[in-house]
Amino acid sequence: MIQFNYETDFNLENEEAMEAWISSCITKYDFTEGEINYIFCDDAYLLKLNVEFLEHDTFTDIISFDYTLGKLISGDIFISVERVRENAKKFSQPFENELNRVVIHGILHYCGFKDKSASDKEVMRAEEDNCLSLFKS
């Protein structure tokens, strides 16, 4: 089950389409959907989590807590809407495209994709693009 939670005044325009898309991406990688919570928040909210749990005193667009067991994907994915807006401007992307990229980025981590090394980042970006091509609003 995928749930969307809001700690800011932001709301997804079409939760049903987003949920269907995320589910299809999970299935594409031969995983099963467990309990996945998206929490949309602001920079201050996510910074607090970043400091408290990861000991990083920096802004970020996403933090995910992975509770996946085997092939059953579960977790909490926190997304800073403010940071996504800034990154969309920085990368000259529409906000919706950048948001979708971040939304699926957390799922790809749960599927085992990494992004620490340059080669891992390249694979992650290709998989993000692959999933983004499946989105139907």
Q: Is 56 annotated as a binding residue?
A: no
- Rounded distance, CA 99 to CA 111, Å? 19
Q: Is 61 annotated as a binding residue?
A: no
Q: Which amino acid does the sequence have at 5?
A: N
Strand order in the sheet with 62-66: 2-6, 32-41, 72-80, 62-66
- Rounded distance, CA 23 to CA 42, Å? 25
pTM of the model: 0.93
Residue 69 scores a pLDDT above 80? yes
Fold observed for domain 2-132: Collagenase (Catalytic Domain) (3.40.390)
The ranges assigned to domains in the chain are: 2-132
Q: Is 105 annotated as a binding residue?
A: yes
Residue 136 scores a pLDDT above 80? no
pLDDT digits (tens, 9 = 90+) for 70-106: 999 999 999 999 999 999 999 999 999 999 999 999 9
pLDDT digits (tens, 9 = 90+) for 13-54: 999 999 999 999 999 999 999 999 999 999 999 999 989 887
In this predicted structure, what is the pLDDT of residue 137?
62
Task: List residues bridging with 81 in a β-sheet.
Answer: none
